[in-house]
Amino acid sequence: MRNALQVAGALLAATIGQASAQSDDAIARGEYLARASNCVACHSVPGGQAFAGGLKMATPIGAIYVTNITPDKEHGIGSYSVDDFDKAVRYGVAKDGHRLYPAMPYPSYSKMTRADVEAMYAFFMNGVPAASVPNKPSEIPSPLNMRWPLAIWNVLFVDLDEYEPDAGQSEAWNRGAYLVQGAGHCGACHTPRGLAWNEAALDDSDDDFLSGAMLDHWSASNLRQDNAAGLGRWSQDDIAEYLKTGHNQFGTAYGTMVEVINNSTQYLTGDDMAAVATYLKSLPGVRSNDLDYAYDGATTEALLDRKLDQPGALTYVQHCKHCHADNGMGYGTFLPSLAGNTSTLDPDPSSLINITLNGSGRLVVEGLPDSYRMPPFRVLLNDQQIADVVSFIRSGWGNTAGKVSAEQVKLVRSETSPASERIEILKMK
């Protein structure tokens, strides 16, 4: 009898241990997926508890505040079942039935598998401390704050189906497509929007997908294989390096992409970074006016000879050449080249205007803050000076982008503010 009890006890202990190990695996996998989905960047505020909400987000009809998604039962998602969580993440419907605004990127998350959403649920319920932080009401006025029209919006603009692997593509390509279209929700920023603020495309079946878009006076880059303003000149290794460090030979992350590097992509495995690169390199270019970039040394020669009669040239020598050099090539990957830079060649100059006015936040990779950041020049330079120097950069060293006006700079100045100089690291738990 004693032996039987001992055997039963051993089997029970082994079963409990196995269940605990499976639970720990699910939590760890869920944490990884939450990183890949960059949940922390939207559902946290600097200095606050992770996932406690409160971040203010502008929309065309008024500001909303991102919600608490900690396991707090009063203010968070502590009372959510896994089915409730799945419905919110993939279908945009909260437990009480109200529709979520598509600032929550459920049009992309809908492509995630149920198994991945269950792993994320395990992480949020067991790996995140509860935070008793009330949610803030939106600032959208009535009647625009009614939620029921979102059900119609979903029918018109959202495909709420899981990602279907393409049998004609490799495993790496399908993994990259799944991450880019789904968890990574890259299209939410890099795909142009329609009149109803819908993404013009949700996958690579449409040429608008990842072809570049405007976001808060930043031009979210074209991620297709266009040679000038796209990724046509980037290798797969260049893409992976950028995802890991925020730098490569073609440029440095700025604007909201700094948050993506700091909080999300640097945590991807090497295989997943390579998969994303494989997928992005497969997307054909779509711009009919795209040109091959070729370096031209005439600008360098003029600067070295101190021929500074071109508008913007003197400002460049006084404020820009110390980091970006007379030849426009910068210094390594940390003081980026302006010659042939995809942002420099972007038909929309918003990013260059914005970063010149406001500077950039600091990248933090593997816990180490970047030693260099673009400083703001909104106090030192007036609108015409910034327009001239940005135009000088966009036409120098073989760059072939258009001129910038003082009116364009004035508009960006009026609607933006300097990037924070503080190093903000958002913790996951």
Q: 90 and 208: one domain?
A: no
Report whether pLDDT(420) > 50: yes
pLDDT for position 244: 97
Q: 271 and 410: one domain?
A: yes
Range of the domain at 398: 171-415
- pLDDT per residue over 253-311, tens digit each? 999 999 999 999 999 999 999 999 999 999 999 987 777 889 999 999 999 999 999 99
For residues 387 and 405, the answer to whether their CB atoms sit within 8 Å is: yes
Q: 229 and 373: one domain?
A: yes
Report yes or no on 162 lying in a domain.
no
Q: What is the rounded average pLDDT of the residues 337-347?
A: 93
pLDDT for position 124: 98
What's the chain's average pLDDT? 92
Which of 133, 157, 181 terminates a domain? The answer is: 157
For tokens 């370096």, name the residue: 295
Q: Does an H or E element contain 248, and which? A: strand 247-248
Q: 137 and 194: one domain?
A: no
CA dihedral 316, 320, 322, 325 (to 10 degrees): -70
Q: What is the spatial distance between Cα 41 and Cα 425, in angstroms, rounded to a whole number?
A: 10
Report yes or no on 15 lying in a domain.
no
Q: 382 and 254: one domain?
A: yes
Report whether pLDDT(21) > 70: no
Looking at the DSSP bridge assignments, the partners of residue 99 are 93
Q: What is the DSSP-derived secondary structure letter of residue 165?
A: -
Q: How far is CA 18 from CA 15, 27, 121, 305, in A?
A: 5, 14, 19, 73
Q: 115 and 246: one domain?
A: no
pLDDT for position 1: 53
Q: 290 and 383: one domain?
A: yes
- pLDDT per residue over 107-140, tens digit each? 999 999 999 999 999 999 999 999 999 999 999 9
Q: 227 and 333: one domain?
A: yes
Q: What is the rounded average pLDDT of the residues 422-427?
A: 64
Question: Residue 193: what are its φ and ψ, rounded to 5°?
Answer: -105, 150
Number of domains in the chain: 2
Q: 255 and 374: one domain?
A: yes
For residues 380 and 277, the answer to whether their CB atoms sit within 8 Å is: no
Report yes or no on 80 lying in a domain.
yes
Angle at 219 between CA 63 and CA 58, to 5 degrees: 0
Report yes or no on 164 lying in a domain.
no
Token pair recorded at residue 79: 């009372």
Report yes or no on 126 lying in a domain.
yes
Q: 204 and 110: one domain?
A: no
Q: What is the spatial distance between Cα 237 and Cα 244, in angstroms, rounded to a whole number?
A: 10
Q: For residue 421, what pLDDT band results from cuts at 50, 70 and 90?
A: low
Q: What is the rounded average pLDDT of the residues 158-178?
A: 96
242: domain CATH number?
1.10.760.10
Q: For residue 3, what pLDDT band results from cuts at 50, 70 and 90?
A: low
Q: 220 and 299: one domain?
A: yes
Q: pLDDT higher for 333 or 97?
A: 97
- pLDDT per residue over 32-76, tens digit each? 999 999 999 999 998 899 999 999 998 888 899 999 999 999 999
Of 176, 238, 192, 191, give the one whose Cα is nearest residue 36.
Answer: 176
- pLDDT per residue over 295-305, tens digit each? 999 999 999 99
Q: 350 and 297: one domain?
A: yes
Q: For residue 12, what pLDDT band results from cuts at 50, 70 and 90?
A: very low
